[in-house]
Amino acid sequence: MYRIGVDVGGSFTDFVMVNSSAEKFYYFKVPSTPADPSVAIANGVREMLTNFDVAPTDVEFFGHGTTVATNMIIERRGATAALVTTAGFRDVLAIGRQTRPNLFDYSVSRPPALIERSLRLEIDERMSSEGSVLNPLKDADLEIVAQQLLALGVESVAICFLHSYRNNEHEVRARDVLQALLPNVYISISSEVLPEFREYERTSTTALNAYVGPRMKAYLDRLRDRVRDVGITPEPLTVHSNGGLLSLPTVERLPVLTCLSGPAAGVSGAVAIGAAAGVKNIITFDVGGTSTDVSLINDGSPYFTSNRLIADYPARLPMVDIHVIGAGGGSIAEVDSAGGLKVGPRSAGAKPGPVAYGLGGVDPTLTDANICLRRLNPIALLDGRMPIDRERSWAAIDAKIAQPLGITVEAAAHGMLQVATANMSRAIRAISAEHGVDAAGFTLMAFGGAGPLHAADVAEECGINNILIPQEPGTMCARGVLVSDISRDFVVTQLARVDADNWTGLRTSAEKMIAAGQRWLDAEKVEEASRRFVISFDARYAGQNHDIPIVCDATGSESMDQFLVKFHQTHERQYGYAIKDQIVQIVNIRVKAVGLILRNQLSASTEQRSGRNALKEGREVYFGVQDGWLDTPVYRRNELSIDSRLEGPAIIEEMSSTTVVLPRQTCTVDEIGNLCIARLT
């Protein structure tokens, strides 16, 4: 039987298929179809199954990562959504936190409220901060609001009442009544999306969910139908932002959970590959067509965060902590009004794409620069399936970059790489400094279609000594789907000091949340033996505004004193100090419900290759002012033998990506097929 993982990117859709019994992996890649990503998924799966002679009925698992929700928010293509909230609070979305995105730059402004004021309606109801009813909700008021929503022609509604994280009775009643009166309208309630205090973040996250909900549901319906038409019977699963998998019904209710779907899968894959290679401290470097995604894996575990901005809108949900910048293979280069060279964040995307693709692109991109310098194959990509026109790239860079700057085309193209390298390196420094670690002590794991192209330059810029590149790195996020478990995060706000009187109650609340997780896993059809739970308390010193998550023993055996020691140690490690005689306060209780699924373990390669056919050709490649054009050997990666050792400069090509080894670097192949690049000493 076979398992398939899919990742939908801005430029390409990637596929990884594994034979569950033989541990054999198959890789495939097709251009994305941004208008309807499910088209590329269905076409790619069909082609892959045909190419590798696999029957659709032999597929037992189908999982995918998607950027559909994120792109809708970025491009403002979501549904016409309304907000129904407590009287007096319709302007929460506009007021926000009264902070500027950039304190000293007056040209930077906050984005407009996701739901405009005319679509924000109030209802005269009120809960206290303790969850008691101060002002009852009246069905007559709901009927009036339903008539207003109908007249406004909204497709979706976000319901967010004050203090519903304490008592959601009014929200549930409002949803039920409005859904009965407006059966074709998508409805989200904050107590299901984010039952936490902090009114602005809860309202914003619920609004985002409502904004993407109808379109996301339509996409998932098309995906379900197209996958079924291919002949695959298992219902697709979707990766969400904490790196776990969700069923389609859960995603339809909570699509905001998928805003970092694909990148989170890549981090999951990096954890698995790092464990197999014996590497625990990793900086993931995922460069695709439109963005660069960077994250930290410390001692084998990724960092998570509950505070993210999605296109400048707050989304307070548990996510893998990934730093994203607009720099990828499709990033467009231009000379600005001051005569400076810029690369990104504007991207050519899948259509029209880079100039060399011949699909109508006229603006030079980072991919065009790599083609001009012959770091990328100047004739064809994707194992020859995508023809390349180097002359088009050369002419575009000459006209739009080289001539305006008065330099050669080689210098212009290499300058584009240097600007991109600086931007990517800045992202690595930012995330490593944020977590208080030295990037030099980490291994840079490069993947995505363009990650291995730029990893060597970025490592030099950041002072990183070791680079690891997995097999078929351009399909890494799809591969990560295959090592992800089913999971969902549950949270409840419970403001309480940590003392002997409250500790038992806190543990009891966590046990109730585990029971809710059990019910969800029942709905996901996860067997009892495959269930796991992770409990964490968001804690802070009394008087602080922000908190840190502390993982607790899920069996309940951890004492209060043990928890306090762990909190003080974590606080000191993160902030440099601990106040051990200060009162510690719990803010939120979190439970992650996990359903373990079958996964294929990475092991030493059983394929024996002599390496005699590894050398493909030699070609002139440009390596900057110091080295210029150098005669460079080009290798077929799938022909390199285990323990092969290459000295730079070298180019290593495979279906999904190309790896550049710079002069004064060396590259070896480890026992599971990873490329390991290091500086020559």
Residue type, position 434, single letter: E
Is residue 594 scored above 80 in pLDDT?
A: yes
- Provide the token pair at 109: 């402004």
pLDDT the model gives residue 31: 85
Look up residue 401 and give its DSSP letter: I
Task: Compute CA distances 156 → 23, 227, 514, whole Å.
Answer: 45, 27, 31
Percent share of the chain, pLDDT over 90: 66
Tokens coding 303: 């960092």
Task: List the domains of the chain with CATH numbers.
Answer: 73-216 (3.40.1360), 261-325+428-481 (3.30.420.40), 331-418 (no CATH), 486-595 (3.30.1490), 615-679 (no CATH)
What is the reported pLDDT for 121? Answer: 97
Query: What is residue 681's predicted lDDT score, i.e. its pLDDT?
Result: 67
Q: Residue 8 — φ and ψ, nearest 5°?
A: -95, 115
- At residue 306, the pLDDT reads 81
C-alpha to C-alpha distances, 461 to 324, 399, 423, nearest whole angstrom:
18, 29, 11
Q: Which residue in 195, 125, 206 sits closest to 166, CA to CA? A: 195
Q: Taking the C-alpha atoms of 83, 87, 91 and 97 in order, what is their torsion angle to the nearest 10 degrees?
A: -110
Q: Which residues pair with 615 in a beta bridge?
A: 635
Radius of gyration of the chain (CA): 26
- Per the CB < 8 A criterion, the answer to whether 644 and 659 are in contact is no
Q: Range with the lowest mean pLDDT among 23-32, 150-159, 344-353? A: 344-353
Helix locations, 197-314, DSSP H: 199-230, 248-253, 261-277
pLDDT at 449: 86
Contact 631, 615 (CB under 8 A): no
Whether 606 shows a pLDDT value over 60: the answer reads no
Q: Could you give the residue ranges of the DSSP H alpha helices within 482-559?
A: 500-523
pLDDT of residue 459: 95
Confidence of residue 567 (pLDDT cuts 50, 70, 90): very high
Lowest-confidence segment of 201-215, 278-292, 544-558 by average pLDDT: 544-558
pLDDT band at 610 (very low <50, low <70, confident <90, very high): low
Model confidence at 603, in pLDDT bands (50, 70, 90)? Answer: low
Mean pLDDT of 123-148: 96
- For residues 350 and 327, what is the distance between their CA atoms, to the nearest angstrom? 14
Which of 56-60, 123-127, 144-148, 545-549 is least confident? 545-549
d(CA 515, CA 518): 5
Instruction: Fill in the DSSP letter of residue 472.
Output: S
User: What is the DSSP annotation of 408-447?
Assistant: -HHHHHHHHHHHHHHHHHHHHHHHHHHTT--GGGSEEEEE
Retrieve residue 528's tokens: 């009892």
C-alpha closest to that of 211 among 68, 77, 90 = 77
At 393, the amino acid letter reads: S
Neighbour-count burial for 341-365, b at 16+ CB within 10 Å, e otherwise: bbbbebbbbbeebbbbbeeebebbb
Residue among 320, 325, 343 nearest 333 (CA)? 343
Q: What is the mean pLDDT of residues 134-149?
A: 96
pLDDT score recorded for residue 381:
80
Tokens 């140690």 -> residue: 569
Q: 599 pLDDT band (50/70/90 cuts)?
A: low
Return the pLDDT at 271: 93
- Which tens digits make up the pLDDT trace of 234-279? 999 999 988 899 999 999 999 999 987 878 899 999 999 999 999 9
Q: What is the arithmetic mean of pLDDT over 543-568?
A: 89
The reported pLDDT for the residue numbered 286 is: 92
Residue that has been written with the tokens 């930012």 in this structure: 430
Residues 158-191, buried b or exposed e (16+ Cβ, 10 A)? bbbbbbbbbbbbbbebbbebbeeebeebbbbbbb
The pLDDT of residue 184 is above 70: yes
| Burial class, 616, CB count within 10 angstroms (exposed 0-12 / middle 13-18 / buried 19+) | middle
Q: Cα separation of 3 and 13, whole Å?
A: 17
Give, to the nearest 10 degrees, the angle between helix 199-230 and helix 68-75.
130
Tokens coding 616: 């493909």
What is the rounded distance in angstroms from the CA atom of residue 192 to the CA atom of residue 189? 6
pTM summary value = 0.86
pLDDT tens track for 74-122: 778 899 999 999 999 999 999 988 777 677 777 777 788 899 999 999 9
Residue 601 pLDDT > 70 = no
pLDDT, residue 169, reads: 96
| pLDDT at residue 632 greater than cutoff 90 | yes
Q: Where are the beta strands (DSSP E) in 426-582?
A: 443-447, 466-469, 486-497, 531-541, 548-552
Both tokens of 295, joined, read 């994250």
Question: How far apart are the C-alpha atoms of 5 and 481, rounded to whole Å?
Answer: 5
Q: Which two tokens stand for residue 261?
A: 């779907």
CB 161 within 8 A of CB 192: no
HEC assignment per residue over 4-21: EEEEECCCEEEEEEEECC
Q: What is the average per-residue pLDDT within 302-316?
A: 84
- Tell me how far apart the alpha carbons of residues 170 and 160 are, in angstroms, rounded to a whole number: 10
End-to-end CA distance of the chain: 47
* Residue 82 region by backbone torsions, left for phi larger than 0, else alpha for psi between -120 and 50, else beta: beta
Which uninterrupted H or E stretch holds 633? strand 629-636
Q: What is the pLDDT of residue 85?
A: 97
What average pLDDT does the segment 505-513 reach?
A: 92
Using DSSP bridges, classify how beta strands 237-239 and 59-65 pair: parallel, antiparallel or unpaired: parallel
What would the two tokens of residue 167 be?
């008592």
pLDDT-derived band of residue 143, with 50, 70 and 90 as boundaries?
A: very high
Cβ 55 vs Cβ 49: under 8 Å = yes
- Residue given tokens 């969700």 in the structure block: 246
Q: Evaluate if residue 179 carries a pLDDT over 80.
A: yes
Q: Please enumerate in sequence order all residues whose Cβ is within 8 A of that of 403, keeping only pairs 6 or more positions apart, or say none.
A: none
pLDDT in tens, 322-353: 888 878 888 899 998 888 999 988 888 767 88
State yes or no: pLDDT of 605 exceeds 70. Answer: no
Between 9-13, 112-116, 132-136, the lowest mean confidence (pLDDT) is in 9-13
Q: What is the overall mean pLDDT for the chain?
A: 90
Indicate if the pLDDT at residue 565 is higher than 70: yes
From residue 288, alpha-carbon distances to 250, 262, 458, 524, 676 in Å are 28, 11, 15, 32, 21
| Residue type for position 416 | M
Rounded Cα distance between 367 and 351, Å, is: 14
